[in-house]
Amino acid sequence: MKDFIIPDDRDLGTPASHSDITVTLTVDGIPVSVPAGTSVMRAAAIAGITVPKLCATDHLTAFGSCRLCVVQIDGMRGTPASCTTPVAEGMVVHTQTDEVAQIRRGVMELYISDHPLDCLTCAANGDCELQDMAGAVGLREVRYEPGKNHFQRRENGELNPEWRAKDHSNPYFTFDPAKCIVCSRCVRACEEVQGTFALTIDGRGFDSRVSAGLASDSFLSSDCVSCGACVQVCPTATLIENTVIEIGTPERIVKTTCAYCGVGCSFDAHMRGETVVKMVPSKDGKANRGHSCVKGRFAWGYATHAERILNPMIREDYRDPWRVVSWEEAIRFAADRLRATQEKHGRDSVGVITSSRCTNEETYLVQKLARAVFGNNNTDTCARVCHSPTGYGLKTAFGTSAGTHDFDSVEETDLALVIGANPTEGHPVFGSRLRRRLREGAGLIVIDPRHIDLLDTAHRNDAIHLPLLPGTNVAVLTAMAHVIAAEGLFDEAFIRERCDWDEFLEYRDFLLDPRHSPEEVERQSNVPADLIRQAARAYAAAPRASIYYGLGVTEHSQGSTTVMAIANLAMMTGNIGKPGTGVNPLRGQNNVQGSCDMGSFPHEFPGYRHVTDIETRKLYEQVWGVPLSDEPGLRIPNMFDAATQGRFKGLYCQGEDVLQSDPDTSHVQSALASLDILIVHDLFLNETSNYAHVFLPGSSFLEKDGTFTNAERRINMVRKAMSPKNGHADWEITVMLANALDAGWDYSHPSEIMDEIALTTPSFAGVSYDLLDREQSVQWPCNAKAPLGTPVMHIEGFVRGKGKFINTEYVPSEERTGGRFPLLLTTGRTLTQYNVGAQTRRTDNTVWHPEDVLEIHPHDAEQRGIREGDYVRVASRAGDTTIRAKITERVAPGVVYTTFHHPTTQANVVTTDNSDWATNCPEFKVTAVQVSPSNGPSEWQEQYRSHSELSRRILPAAE
Amino acid sequence: MQSPANAPHPPNTPKVAALDGEGLERLQAIIARHAGTEGPLLPILHDVQAEWGMIPEAAQPIIGNALGMTRAEVYGVVSFYHDFREVPAGRHVLRLCRAEACQSMGADVLADQVRVALGLDWHETTADGRLTLEPVFCLGLCACGPAAQMDDRLVGRATAQRVVALAEEAR
């Protein structure tokens, strides 16, 4: 671990041991007490003594190969390696004796005899553990004559057969075998931390080298997912970030939080001046524990991409070219138009859409803008299109709209039930943590129409895959509950104590109806009855079973019912309230949880309190000093409907590309085109901005202070690493807009916004920037009862009192296959791209995913005469688009699958406006389609492309 | 934007052409024979080598997949053992011990003589494909060095004459 900058972030050499027994030993005369099972090396480090090491790092279990960490221990023969020797009571350790000093120098001499001495021009100069260790052991000469080696390209004019060229195939890092000391850290990190097993040691002895995949593979062609774990642990310049090669070593570190998915990984931004040199996951990050994925680790180049817009722009009509103007002019124009629109079409004719990518503070301000300045509750967020059913379902069942456990809890689970989620692609760091647990022997049940990568986890234990038809989640989960009820596998004691027993009996009667039997459900879902039974028994039998779910649960017309069915399963088996269990939604975006918490929804103030709640409204009226509406406002789909009907005319849309991410693109298009004022506040001219009148350039997560709340309710600090390239942080821009509408806001720092949130929101009452700086992060509820936050919820009892069982009747989606549309299309995400791709498409991640493809089963492809790589037309009742086909057995016959990262293919042109019965969350996951061979882009794509080009013209600045 | 048509090589895909047809069937039959046994990787690799005379690179991802391992792990094992071959050996294999005990008994001189006599360097095979010469590190015959091995037959106190005669016999 390259730990040269932060001294308190020392590498202790081996991972922590978890034991209740404490052992006391003496290291170099210093007594130290550590948990049993700790290595001598770690104990020494805790005592403040550094033992030289090369192959050991506290990211990885000890390996004992470098022999540099040898010590002498009284009563033990020889010189044991301190990394692999566990401590014992009364042990007396000597880390510096003449004998070990001589051994270490001898070992170092051998290492250096096969290592180039180009330290001064090496990219790792100053950040090289080999260099440090040579100094630490006092190596003064290398007695070996130059001979057979791996590092000289030419020897006596001849090409050295042992030399290998650098591997530049990965766009983000370089592998230089000449500098490798074969410590195996990279191989072990790939296995233990990431769980991909892409690397190995080729050969043995002097011939040993690190190899990605087979002999013929490069890093790019291997299984490598570019998570960066190998680069992070490499002690030399063998595996090193290309940015470090280009820029040099960083000079300072800013601790911040990744702005991609809902895992919310903590990162150290290594900076040189105002330039990011590299992003390295923080070892003390409580969500990621020192791990990262390709997006957070490497795909941050979009923040300085040439296409980023840095100046405000306005235009009279969305068909005009953009005019670059001053901030004052843009804000004035926006404010005047908003005011004029409200005067002409009424107070309720304008609204806002908050972003799940912006900070809590920014989101809070945007919803406050709607409620306090516009005077209505027309605020909604993209959570509408992803996890709104989670909020509704879990609040109904448990009393809180959030996941129950922290990510650490996965380390204690005995069985993970994964429904409608693809963690290794969508939430990769959590995926790696889950994989580690699966290798330790935990069971796995996957309920998903696709064969997801998690099922291919190397060295996993038993797994059951229920490949259901899209849209039948409720039926399958209810059938599982039927089996648990029928076979008496439920946890009666838990239900009697924590839930209402009579209510459960009612639910049981509902379940035992033969229409919920696995045999009946097999006919609807295509899942063999026997598999449903196996899954139900395995889930009920596991001592600690956990459920992790994603958008494959929520983005359905029965999304809320499925969430309730999940809650029922957990409650009836007592899998709530203790580590290793729980119901855990995997949030799509970095701050979906936060944007929901911050009152983005039209019917709820921050903290999920209804707008009709008089107490809450009074509180906000008092704090904000204005009267507030008690009428719930418009949800996103209602905004679009009202717009097409001419009742909704103005929208402020922050950090959200509704045109690409919302269903039924043509409908959204006509809604946006009908607005009098559309303000888009974003980093890039996104698809929505094609219809905008005002473009306010946004700031990236590297350019502002604030907080994100991840899927485990963890409030993480986002810290400013560089000044905003657009001139203002996003919260300042919202304040300017509000003040142009005479709001009189006077925030001088986001911490003041957080103070206002804490003042008005009971579950955030204890949160402040001081606390976050001290604790790094806290999980809400954080208040007088839980001053340091709440990692696991519902331990003693449910927040709502008794857990609530709700009958989960399966009401099939209106979207059905038939003669014209015989296939079911479902959508998802891929590892290297993120959401609408606005960020990741502007990075080298396109190497892995240059375009969206349609996965189709060989049988369906053959019937239609479709070959691998052909352009195909995908048509639904809503529209059609063309896309390239990928033939794979990952999808079942009758099901096709695609991602929605690229605007040119626009999967959402075909998705319909069906939505969840309770929350209007769109049914992205089920669309009946037909697929046929095609020659090229659809008519819609052609039209869209030309409009998009036209609407992105920017007039040259007036001289 | 790259399209698959002009991309150099798709990421996360082995560069070696996938095994198919009859070769795949033979491999799957071998894997099936060892299904459910404990530690099946080495037995499978031995059978593959018996079938092909080598471990085809294209077989490694398929073996890994069947055993819940990755192709890198299989390759790590294959490359660790010198007896697993990248190319098939000749019909007969002559091994000369090069370890310390034999070296002290003149193994280096013996090796030079044999290499000249056979016209083969280490790891080379005669043009007719009948004989491969290989170094080996210890045959466990240290008391009677220098040692050699002709196919399965061990030779103690080897001389150039005797070893070359055995080799010629085999050819």
B11 with A847: Cβ contact below 8 A: yes
| B15, B57, B79 member nearest A221 (Cβ) | B15
Using CB atoms, pick whichever of A214, A215, A850 lies closest to residue B2: A850
The per-residue DSSP string of A553-570 comes to HHSSTTHHHHHHHHHHHH
Amino acid at A328: E
Contact across the interface for B16 and A214, Cβ inside 8 Å = yes
| C-alpha distance from A884 to closest chain B C-alpha (Å) | 10
Task: Give the CA radius of gyration of chain B.
Answer: 20
Angle between the N-to-C axes of helices A501-512 and A559-572, in degrees from 0 to 180, rounded to the nearest 10: 120
- Residues B149-155: what's their mean pLDDT? 93
Find out whether A806 and A872 touch, Cβ atoms under 8 Å.
Answer: no
**Number of neighbouring beta carbons within 10 Å of residue A665:** 25
* A853-856 vs A895-899, strand pairing mode: antiparallel
Mean pLDDT of A683-698: 94
**Residues of B in Cβ contact (< 8 Å) with A199:** 72
Residue A7 has pLDDT above 50, yes or no: no
Probe site for chain A from B60, B69, B75 (most A CB atoms < 10 A): B75
Q: What is the pLDDT of residues A165-221, one digit of tens each?
A: 999 999 999 999 999 999 999 999 999 999 999 999 999 999 999 999 999 999 999
Of A750, A642, A652, give the one whose Cα is nearest residue A694: A652
Q: Which domains does chain A have, with CATH numbers?
A: 7-146 (3.10.20.740), 158-304 (3.30.70.20), 313-385+594-702+725-755 (3.40.50.740), 388-585 (3.40.228.10), 823-950 (2.40.40.20)
**With the C-alpha atoms ordered A140, A144, A146, A147, is the resulting torsion angle positive or negative?**
negative
How is residue A464 written in tokens? Answer: 């059951």
Minimum distance, in Å, between the CA of residue B132 and any CA atom of chain A: 21
DSSP labels, B32-87: HHTTT-SS-HHHHHHHHHHHHSS--TTHHHHHHHHTT--HHHHHHHHHH-TTS-SS
Yes or no: say if A349 and A337 are a contact pair by the CB < 8 Å rule: no
Token pair for residue A907? 């999967």
Identify the band that residue A857 occupies on the pLDDT scale cut at 50, 70 and 90. very high
Is residue B156's pLDDT more than 60?
Answer: yes
User: Residue B102, annotated ligand binder?
Assistant: yes
- Reduce the secondary structure of A124-168 to three states and give it as a string: CCCCCHHHHHHHHCCCCCCCCCCCCCCCCCEECCEECCCCCCCEC
Residues of A in contact with B57 (CB under 8 A): 214-216
DSSP state of A184: -
CB contact residues (below 8 A), chain B span 38-97, against chain A: 57, 60-61, 68-73, 75-76, 79-80, 86
Cβ neighbours around A539 below 10 Å, total: 26
Query: Tell me, what's the pLDDT at A934?
Result: 87
Q: Is B1 on the interface with A (CB under 8 A)?
A: yes
**Where would I find the beta strands (DSSP E) of A458-560?**
463-466, 545-549
Which residues does chain A have within 8 Å of residue B72's beta carbon, measured at their own beta carbons?
197-200, 211-214, 222-223
**Alpha-carbon distance B87 to A959, whole Å?**
72
Q: Does B165 contact chain A (CB < 8 Å)?
A: no
End-to-end CA distance of chain B: 59
Residue type, B121: D
B142 is in an annotated binding site: yes
For residue A427, give every residue at least 6 positions away whose Cβ sits within 8 Å of its Cβ, in sequence order, or none. Answer: A261, A262, A263, A421, A550, A586, A711
Express each pLDDT in A581-618 by its tens digit: 999 999 888 999 999 999 999 999 999 999 999 999 99
Angle subtended at Cα A20 by Cα A15 and Cα A21, rounded to the nearest 5 degrees: 95
**Kindly report the CA angle at A382 between A376 and A386, in degrees rounded to 5?**
130
d(CA A638, CA A384): 11
Tell me the pLDDT tens digit for each residue of A456-496.
Answer: 999 998 899 999 999 999 999 999 999 999 999 999 999 99
Q: At what angle do helices A518-525 and A529-541 cross, to 10 degrees?
A: 120
Smallest CA–CA separation between B86 and chain A, in Å?
10
Task: Say which residue the tokens 């004719």 belong to.
Answer: A349
pLDDT at A51: 96
Rounded to two decimals, the pTM is 0.93
Mean pLDDT for chain B overall: 92
Q: What is the pLDDT of residues B24-55, one digit of tens each?
A: 999 999 999 998 899 999 999 999 999 999 99
Cα angle A95, A100, A103 (rounded to 5 degrees) comes to: 145
pLDDT in the model for residue B6: 52
**Closest to A177 measured CA to CA, from A168, A166, A189, A188:** A166
- B4–A869 C-beta distance less than 8 A: yes
Does residue A538 register a pLDDT over 90?
A: yes
For A720-755, b where at least 16 C-beta lie within 10 A, e where not — what string? bbbebbbebbbbbbbbbbbebbebebebeebbebbe
Question: What is the distance in angstroms between the Cα of A169 and the nearest Cα belonging to chain B?
Answer: 9
C-alpha torsion sign, points A202, A207, A209, A211: negative
Q: Report residue A839: phi and psi, to 5°.
A: -85, -55
Identity (one letter) of the amino acid at A561?
Answer: T
Q: How far is CA A420 from the centre of its chain?
A: 15
Q: Which residues of B touch A204 (CB under 8 A)?
A: 79-80
Q: What is the mean pLDDT of chain A?
A: 93
Q: How many other C-beta atoms can be found within 10 angstroms of the C-beta atom of residue A316?
A: 10
Q: What tokens appear for B85 in the block? A: 């071959």
B5 touches chain A (CB under 8 A): yes
Q: A214 and B15: CB-CB below 8 Å?
A: yes
State whether residue B7 sits within 8 Å of chain A by CB.
yes
Q: Count CB pairs under 8 A between chains A and B.
A: 93
B3 or A703, which is more confident?
Answer: A703
User: What residues of A are in the B interface, CB distance below 8 Å?
Assistant: 196-204, 211-218, 220-225, 458-460, 846-848, 850-851, 869, 884
Asked whether the predicted pLDDT for residue A6 surpasses 50, the reply is no
pLDDT in the model for residue B140 = 93
B60 → closest Cβ in A214, A224, A869: A214
Share of chain A above pLDDT 90, in %: 82
Question: pLDDT tens digits for A637-662?
Answer: 999 999 999 999 999 999 988 888 88
Name the minimum distance, in Å, from the CA of B165 to any CA of chain A.
33
Which has the minimum average pLDDT: A183-192, A201-210, A337-346, A930-939? A930-939
CB contact under 8 A, A200 and B73: yes
Partners of A241 in the beta sheet?
A173
Consecutive H or E run containing A504: helix A501-512
Q: Is B11 on the interface with A (CB under 8 A)?
A: yes
Residues of B in contact with A196 (CB under 8 A): 70
Taking only the tens place, the pLDDT of each residue in A713-737 is: 999 999 999 999 999 999 999 999 9
Model confidence pLDDT, tens digit, residues A412-461: 999 999 999 999 999 999 999 999 999 999 999 999 999 999 999 999 98
pLDDT on residue A959: 43
In this complex, which of A200, A869, A884 lies closest to B76 when CB atoms are compared?
A: A200
User: For residues A733 and A696, is the Cβ–Cβ distance under 8 A?
Assistant: yes
DSSP state letters, A936-949: S--HHHHHHHHHHH
CB under 8 Å to B170, separation ≥6 — which residues?
B91, B92, B94, B130, B131, B150, B151
Neighbour-count burial for A875-908, b at 16+ CB within 10 Å, e otherwise:
bbebbbbbbbbbbbebbbebbbbbbbbbbebbbb
CB-based contacts of A644: which residues, under 8 Å, 6+ apart? A667, A670, A671, A674
Across the interface, do B71 and A223 touch by the CB < 8 Å criterion? yes
The shortest C-alpha distance from A887 to chain B (Å) reads 14
